[in-house]
Amino acid sequence: MRTVADLANGIDQQPPTEPHGSSHSDNPVMHVPSRVLYGGRQGAPLALIAATAAVTLLFASTPFLITPLSEHYGISEGFAGSISVAQVGAFAAVNFIFPRLLRPSGKLLRVAAISLVILNLLSVFAGLYAVLLVLRVLAGAAAGTMTWLTWSNAMKRKSSMSSIAATGPMTALLAAPLMALISGWGDQAIYATLAIAAVPAAVLWAPVAGRKRAKGVISGSRSNRILLASLFALTFFGSSLFINQTIVARDIHGLTAFTSSIAFSMNAAGAIAGARLSTRIRYPGWFLASIGPAAVLTVIGPTWMFYVGMTWWGFAFWVGVPGVLQMLVDRSLEPSERAGDAQGVMALGRAFGPALGGAFVDAGALVALAVTSATGIAIAGTSVIGVKEGREHLPPTDDRTIDQHE
């Protein structure tokens, strides 16, 4: 999903010609989420499935680490959220940089997986929070490398891609209650579990191969830039609240870690259902904008709305995002060009959003955080609506939607 092909010039054209017998509706880049429920039937190399599961578990554990880290290291819960900034920031950087510097290989995948096992084990014994942050930066880089290599390989085979696509949401569905239970023994128990979970990826072998991403000129579509900014805002403001939902559940709704984890599992279940329906949605922006009210209601609504809001959040996100990715492709010079950019900006949003959320948490302003997060998400969704409406009335070559001179 993160490969970028050689591009001949810097202007938008009509959607690129597909190989004989294919169409945009068959584009695996855009329809990975819609195959979630069908994954695993024909199978991908087990090493790639294991790598995807290990990385998913790593990020799914983060909300359940906030309180144990605060208690273990004597820091505020808001500052404990910096663990997410460290991991996801490195994850995003690797996915922007490594494909341009390194050639994909099975050896590199194994080195990254072994590194993740070691870094998770070292995190168990980190005596200082500063040391832990350095370890999690490196762990995020290892996870980013594994994800890049996994998708580089999966892009080549539809059967492999469906299996990889299924692994993430299914792992997240089960990970929430598991991490909630383990968090009762502290952050060290979670990191030990993450180390064990990464072992299969370290010992199994996958025939990963490819070439370095070539330099190219990116499509100058102005509307695509708006969509990329919207995806960044969606994940930036969304992660600022989402990463702190266990605190919302505890402080506002009086829920235990395990009962709140059910909401995270429902979020994953909603994501699976939404992904399957995504190909039928013509106006994704409306669903993305609807996450805003749902996010607010998880905080200011009754307890049952915490569960409903989290479920709708997962559903609407995965209904909407694939449609935005397709909109990016429609004004790109090559189908995978902007898809890679989209993954990068969303990762950056997830990296820096928790820093914003941490500031609100330390100020004891969970309601203000919810309102801020919801507003940012709603604006992102509205921007997508605006781009969609604008494109409905303008041809692909109109200079109001593309930059003809870049």
Q: Which residue has the higher pLDDT, 344 or 203?
A: 203
Query: What DSSP state is assigned to residue 219?
Result: P
The pLDDT value recorded for residue 82 is 83
Residue 281, pLDDT > 80, answer no
Q: Which residue has the higher pLDDT, 366 or 180?
A: 366
281-302 per-residue burial string, b: 16 or more CB within 10 A, e: under 16: beebbbbbbbbbebbbbbbebe
CB < 8 Å & 24+ apart, contacts of 305-312: 306/248, 306/249, 306/253, 306/255, 306/260, 306/263, 307/262, 307/263, 307/266, 310/245, 310/263, 310/264, 310/266, 310/267, 310/270, 311/263, 311/266, 311/267, 311/269, 311/270, 312/270
State the pLDDT confidence band at 158, using cuts at 50, 70 and 90.
low
List of residues 6+ apart from 134 with CB closer than 8 A:
none
Q: What is the pTM of this model?
A: 0.69
Contact 370, 296 (CB under 8 A): yes
State the pLDDT confidence band at 251, using cuts at 50, 70 and 90.
very high
The pLDDT value recorded for residue 34 is 34
- Six-digit token string for 192: 């030990």
State the Cα angle at 66 between 232 and 292, rounded to 5°: 35
C-alpha distances (whole Å) from 355 to each of 244, 304, 339, 341 are 11, 28, 26, 22
Strand partners, 105: 209
User: Which superfamily, per CATH, for 219-406?
Assistant: MFS general substrate transporter like domains (1.20.1250.20)
Residue 80, pLDDT > 90, answer no
The pLDDT value recorded for residue 149 is 82
State the pLDDT confidence band at 141, using cuts at 50, 70 and 90.
very high
Q: Domain 32-215 has what CATH class?
A: mainly alpha
What is the spatial distance between Cα 143 and Cα 347, in angstroms, rounded to a whole number?
Answer: 12
Compute the average pLDDT of residues 108-116: 93
The rounded mean pLDDT for the chain is 78
Residue 402, pLDDT > 80, answer no
Contact 102, 108 (CB under 8 A): yes
Compute the average pLDDT of residues 33-60: 68
What is the spatial distance between Cα 42 and Cα 303, in angstroms, rounded to a whole number?
Answer: 41
Residue 10, pLDDT > 60, answer no
Instruction: Point out the least confidently predicted range of 12-26, 76-90, 282-296.
Output: 12-26
Asked if the domains 32-215 and 219-406 are classified in one and the same CATH topology, the answer is yes
- Residue spans per domain, the chain: 32-215, 219-406
The helix (H) or strand (E) run that includes residue 90 is helix 82-101
Compute the average pLDDT of residues 27-40: 36
List of residues 6+ apart from 54 with CB closer than 8 A:
113, 116, 143, 146, 194, 197, 198, 200, 201
Q: Is 250 exposed, middle or buried (0-12, 13-18, 19+ CB in 10 A)?
A: middle
Q: Is 215 exposed, middle or buried (0-12, 13-18, 19+ CB in 10 A)?
A: exposed
Residue 261, pLDDT > 50, answer yes
Q: Sign of the C-alpha dihedral, residues 322, 326, 329, 334?
A: positive
Amino acid at 337: E
State the pLDDT confidence band at 210, using cuts at 50, 70 and 90.
low
State the pLDDT confidence band at 1, using cuts at 50, 70 and 90.
very low
